[in-house]
């Protein structure tokens, strides 16, 4: 006796195509990418890329925005990004340790975007430092800012949302298992605000055609109170 096909089977088939997988990996940076940029990332023609985007759109893995004559594509939401991150974690579990010291893997290990927040060594170190300093406090499976932590972040100019209702509070700050470090980095609306602020103030810079991030001297100074404790 066989049961119904698992609902994730169709999604897995969509993700499992190598061209679409390369597109989804490129979109893990959290930004909208033009159709031509996705085609280049996947190594296919614009026409082929368009047909693959249509399949991703049908599966509700991406959203598309049209602006003038151009189409821009982004992952549908953070849940999709976290699912892809979890698949990456499984895929990398047998990777040789020296892999992360070679080629384009090294800057990704140092610091990268995970959808809208900071990952890699820097992301893990920052998260652990925020906890060690008491800026973040554990609370019922997620994290909240301490009063001192709220003052710390406000002092460096990070706009913080008002205190949340219980249902939204769980999405404010929570752990996300990092696939290169196998430890948690910070996810949630606080993590998004931290990354956006860091990019806007040149604490972090995006590496062209990559999810990798470069920390600047001003960023090192800004993050020092937390990284020193990581």
CA–CA dist 110, 186 (Å, integer) = 15
This prediction has a pTM of: 0.77
Backbone angles phi, psi at 33, to 5 degrees: -120, 140
Query: Hey, what are 21's tokens?
Result: 């997988």
Exposure on the CB side of residue 33, measured as CA atoms within 13 A: 29
Show me where the domains of the chain are located: 8-76, 97-227
Calculate mean pLDDT across residues 115-137. Answer: 93
pLDDT-based confidence at 180, cuts 50/70/90?
A: confident
pLDDT at 30: 82
Question: How does 132-168 read in b/e, with b if 16+ C-beta sit within 10 Å?
Answer: ebebbeeeeebbbbeeebeebbeeeebeeeeeeeeee
**Residue range 100-121: average pLDDT?**
84
How far, rounded to the nearest angstrom, does the alpha carbon of residue 86 sit from its chain's CA centroid?
A: 12
CATH topology of domain 8-76: Arc Repressor Mutant, subunit A (1.10.10)
Rounded distance, CA 59 to CA 57, Å? Answer: 5
Q: With the C-alpha atoms ordered 38, 40, 44, 50, is the resulting torsion angle positive or negative? A: positive
What pLDDT does residue 93 have?
72
């Amino acid at each position: 006796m066989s049961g119904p096909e698992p609902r994730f089977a169709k999604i897995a088939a969509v993700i499992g195509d190598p061209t679409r997988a390369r597109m989804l990996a490129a979109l893990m940076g959290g930004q909208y990418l033009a159709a031509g940029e996705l085609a280049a990332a996947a190594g296919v023609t614009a026409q082929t890329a368009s047909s693959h985007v249509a399949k991703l759109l049908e599966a509700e893995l991406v959203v598309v925005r049209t602006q003038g004559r151009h189409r821009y594509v982004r992952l549908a939401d953070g849940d999709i990004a976290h699912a892809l991150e979890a698949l990456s974690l499984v895929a990398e579990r047998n990777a040789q340790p020296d892999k992360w010291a070679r080629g384009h893997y090294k800057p990704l290990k140092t610091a990268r975007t995970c959808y809208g927040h900071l990952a890699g060594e820097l992301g893990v170190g920052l998260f652990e430092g925020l906890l060690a300093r008491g800026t973040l406090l554990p609370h019922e499976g997620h994290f909240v800012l301490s009063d001192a932590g709220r003052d710390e972040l406000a002092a460096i100019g990070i706009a913080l949302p008002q205190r949340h209702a219980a249902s939204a509070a769980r999405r404010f700050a929570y752990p996300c298992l990092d696939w290169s470090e196998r430890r948690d980095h910070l996810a949630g609306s606080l993590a998004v605000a931290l990354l956006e602020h860091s990019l806007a103030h040149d604490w972090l810079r995006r590496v062209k055609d990559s999810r990798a991030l470069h920390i600047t001297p001003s960023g090192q100074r800004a993050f020092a109170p937390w990284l020193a404790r990581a």
